[in-house]
Structure 1
Amino acid sequence: MSDSSSTETLVALLRAEVAALAPGDRLPSSRDVIARHGVGPVTVSRAIAQLAAEGAVVTRPGSGTYVAPRRPARGGDAPDTSWQALALSAASRDQGRDAPWPEEAERPAPPPAGALALCGGYLHEDLQPTRALGAALARAARRPDAWHRAPVAGLAPLRAIFARQVGAAVGPEDVLITGGGQGALSMLFRAVAAPGAPVLVESPTYPGALAAARAAGLRPVPVPIDADGIRPDLLAEAFAMTGARLLYCQPTVHNPTGTALAPERRRQIVDVARAAGAFLVEDDFARHLGHGRPLPPPLAAEDRDGTVIHLTSLTKPASPSLRIGALVARGPVMRRLQAMRRVDDFFIARPLQEAAVELLSTPAWERHLRALAAALRERCTALSDALARELPDLAPARPPAGGLHLWLRLPPALTDTAVAEAARAHGVCVDAGAGYFPAEAPAAHLRLGFAATADPGDLAEAARRLALATRSLTTAP
């Protein structure tokens, strides 16, 4: 074995040696392993660490590495967990849940080998600022207080950065740092509404919001949208009919449709929510996912009386593992959110917050956002053009204002699940649209992502495969 042999190969070899030994037997020394297998000391150290993590060996400093006691095999019948059905049903009744755990909370199966991804909601790793993230994390780790306890509300410099992004009327004291957008949604729904209460949502909407609302015991109530976003007239009617005190919406770039709320409606929906004595949760997940055209300022920028609760996150424009987001709120609701933070997890890990400060404070971040906008615009155009060639009846009428997706309405003869399954069989993965609706969908839809492929050129091939899959359904006997 050469010096460049992988740690995984050495782990497999050592695992076989461990299996042939008895518990308590001593493994060869690192020096012997290096000489026998021709690897470097770092590879040996990593392999031993992995085996120790698996529980196969135990290390004793100054003595050596020994075979760990064998774990008893699990024999007999499978564990009986049937009692949990009764316990969970009781918990559902207590929390106002009258339906099974939402299917949209489950993760889809990984794409098969060779499949092209038009599914999912994150950037391909080639679009992520990997080098800038690594440098930011390294600088953060060198800070003398990097591992100190962080304030409940978050680091002051990070809160100031998010406050500036919203607008001059927002100060750092109005910002609460969160563990990404999804955790913030869960906290919000539990903090603002009681179990069993209605929450108004756009229809369609982000499935993660539906899952978080239902997990909090809330009842999502759909409010239809059109090409200009949520309809203020129907929103007012929904508030009057349900008595809801909470609206969740995505006014800047809507997921899944990509729609931007029309300028004349932006003030209207805030006024409607205020008149109903309700909170408006503004999910601004795509603030940094524009396609080069200026995006409108957040609704929270002009809100003076605390109607709008603003939510944003760094996971979409940076990396899924940069679990840093922010809530902007004013008044007693902020104190309630901070109290919930103390109950949930005390604070967000300081090294991650420090890394976010480092990332957002460097010119590399602005360069990344400019490059990302150009890349998303190029990919959006490429997929739209390919759909116009391959599936002209399904191509979207107008490009989205930003974001990572296209939203397609299928003809009545097709169902979203059938198309998604056929597409998968043809080597392209898409998101079926049914899970984006809080109630019955008025028509079948697909959500197609253009940011998850390795090469923009793959988008034309993905559209071709999707067309083949669609034709296979329409021409089947």
Structure 2
Amino acid sequence: MSDDSIPTTLAGRLRTLIAGLSVGDRLPSSRDLVREHGVSPVTVTRAIALLASEGLVVTRPGSGTYVAARRGTGGGFGGAENPGGAVFSGDTAWQTVALTDRAVDTRPVTDALGPPPPGTLLLDGGYLHRSLQPTRALAAALARAARRPDAWDRTPTSGLEPLRAVFARGVGGGVQPEDVLITAGGQNALSMAFRAIAAPGAPVLVESPTYSGAVAAARAAGLRPLPVPIDDQGLRPDLLAEAFARSGARLMYCQPTYQNPTGVVLAPERRRRVVEVARAAGAFIVEDDFARLLGHGTPVPPPLVAEDRDGTVVSLTSLSKPGAPSLRIGALVARGPVMERMRAVRQVDDFFVTRPLQETAVELTSAPGWARHLRALSAALRERCVTLAAALEAEIPEWRVSRLPSGGLHLWARLGPGEDDAVLAAAARRHGVSVSPGNRYFAAEPPAPFLRLGFAAVADRTELREAVRRLAAARREVMG
């Protein structure tokens, strides 16, 4: 029997067990399952992770694994929690056939283990903890925006001119407000750019590793992500040129500043060369500049689009990361017909981004408190980054963090020989800490096991240290 089939076999046995249990019943402990079925702790971990991904069980740190609520038994507008509503009981099997060619793969951006239970320390978060958000400034900005007499009027498709001017100034390099299109956050900008530039079935070059949400958005647009390796200085122009030549791609996605997940900054001597390579291939670069306002105090080069004179670069950015998750305001920056194409996509998608939120963003970024917030955030992120790295060195010296990033929200840790990132993530969840397996950041096979570990989504540095202690305990369980 292969190593992969043993957890699958155990999962099948546990499905039979679960079928005879009720929602909320506790499954036997990992120790009992090891003894009863004669398997290793790693096999049990993999089997439980498989069942959790199917929605059959939930794990509760320090308590155990429990039978999950059956799908379709919840409340909503009808059913048990709404007796007056109609209960749908039709046969939807026909939809499986009708939707065959319309699949949207959300696996790169969803947690296979399900939502973390209360009390879980989040090392997999991609946004700021509430303690780091400018909540008072946001509340004040929202209140001022709501008092505007035209707060609920329609906005131009491109967005409010004052907000476009804010983003244009942030880019520099002669970018004007007319070169900016307001979007509903960075992910929306990414999806719009992919659909506007490339046709379904076309290849798109991506860094390897890369932001998992970009892979998901590309595939949802019908594109084929093709990986281009990076090193400690970012994209290699020689490999990029080869990838363009071999694939015929006319689109490349990259994050030159504080790359997610590695934190790498594209070296200054490579920046111009990367744009030249794309220009020679007749291709666009989609530059994801999501982290420019998440620096740790070290100056960074300007965005690629600021020095682009041929319309090769389409740049996107967002206020959601340095502000708050629900501040869904982003921007696309481009010149030439590609901007008209993206405006057309915005027009047919949803006409415009809601005006009250745009007005709030103008109020927030125009107030003196915004600059103070960014300075305080920079210092806090630097402290947290150092704290997480030191805790890992003390608790799990076998893992290698090759560099401390000079910005961003994450560390990229390479695991030791024989370790499995998915298995470790499942074990970590049982110990009350949530981490991101590295395999989701690769468009092809990963070269080694990694974890992306965030330092911004927990309350403080004390929680960071506790999270690493829990992670070390999970690793000891897995390693035996």
Aligned match of 1:257:
262
- For residues 137 and 102 of structure 1, do their structure 2 counterparts lie closer, same or farther at Cα, with a shift above 3 Å needed? closer
Letter of the structure 2 residue corresponding to residue 80 of structure 1:
D
Please state how far the C-alpha of 1:279 moved relative to its aligned partner: 0.3
The Cα RMSD (Å) is: 1.6
Whether contact under 8 Å (2:278, 2:312) holds in the other structure is yes
Aligned match of 1:186:
191
1:59-98 to structure 2, matched below 5 A, reads 71-72=84-85, 74=87, 78-91=89-102
Please state how far the C-alpha of 1:397 moved relative to its aligned partner: 2.2
- For residues 159 and 72 of structure 1, do their structure 2 counterparts lie closer, same or farther at Cα, with a shift above 3 Å needed? closer
Letter of the structure 1 residue corresponding to residue 280 of structure 2:
A
Aligned match of 1:456:
461
Task: Using the TM superposition, name which of 139-148 and 465-474 deviates more.
Answer: 465-474
1:105-156: per-residue Cα shift (whole Å, max 9, x none)? 4355222232211112000011000000000010011111111110110100
Whether contact under 8 Å (2:77, 2:85) holds in the other structure is no
Please state how far the C-alpha of 1:410 moved relative to its aligned partner: 1.2
Q: Which of 238, 248, 251 is residue 246 of structure 1 equivalent to? A: 251
Please state how far the C-alpha of 1:72 moved relative to its aligned partner: 4.8
1:155-202: per-residue Cα shift (whole Å, max 9, x none)? 001111100110141111100000100011111111000000000000
Aligned match of 1:7:
none
Instruction: Compute the TM-score of the two structures, normalised by the length of structure 1.
Output: 0.82
Segments of 5+ residues of structure 1 without an aligned counterpart are 1-53, 57-68, 93-99
Corresponding residue SS for 1:446: strand
Aligned match of 1:5:
none
Aligned match of 1:106:
110
1:319-356: per-residue Cα shift (whole Å, max 9, x none)? 11010000000000001111111100111111110100
Count residues in correspondence. Answer: 401
Please state how far the C-alpha of 1:462 moved relative to its aligned partner: 1.1
Letter of the structure 2 residue corresponding to residue 87 of structure 1:
A
Q: State the alpha-carbon separation in 1 of the partners of residues 111 and 432 from structure 2.
A: 19
1:285-434 to structure 2, matched below 5 A, reads 285-434=290-439
Corresponding residue SS for 2:294: coil
Aligned match of 1:133:
138
Corresponding residue SS for 1:326: strand
- For residues 383 and 55 of structure 1, do their structure 2 counterparts lie closer, same or farther at Cα, with a shift above 3 Å needed? closer
Aligned-residue sequence identity (percent) comes to 67
1:359-414: per-residue Cα shift (whole Å, max 9, x none)? 00011000000000000001000000001111112141220121100011112311
Q: Which has the larger radius of gyration?
A: 1
Aligned match of 1:444:
449
Q: State the alpha-carbon separation in 1 of the partners of residues 289 and 85 from structure 2.
A: 51
Whether contact under 8 Å (2:400, 2:415) holds in the other structure is no
- For residues 452 and 70 of structure 1, do their structure 2 counterparts lie closer, same or farther at Cα, with a shift above 3 Å needed? closer
Corresponding residue SS for 1:153: coil
Q: Does 1:117 align with 2:147?
A: no
Please state how far the C-alpha of 1:73 moved relative to its aligned partner: 5.6
Aligned match of 1:206:
211
Letter of the structure 2 residue corresponding to residue 162 of structure 1:
F
Q: Which of 228, 232, 236 is residue 237 of structure 2 equivalent to? A: 232
- For residues 358 and 87 of structure 1, do their structure 2 counterparts lie closer, same or farther at Cα, with a shift above 3 Å needed? same
Q: State the alpha-carbon separation in 1 of the partners of residues 430 and 85 from structure 2.
A: 41
Corresponding residue SS for 1:280: strand
Letter of the structure 2 residue corresponding to residue 200 of structure 1:
L
Segments of 5+ residues of structure 2 without an aligned counterpart are 1-75
Please state how far the C-alpha of 1:103 moved relative to its aligned partner: 1.3
Whether contact under 8 Å (1:102, 1:214) holds in the other structure is no
Instruction: Compute the TM-score of the two structures, normalised by the length of structure 2.
Output: 0.81
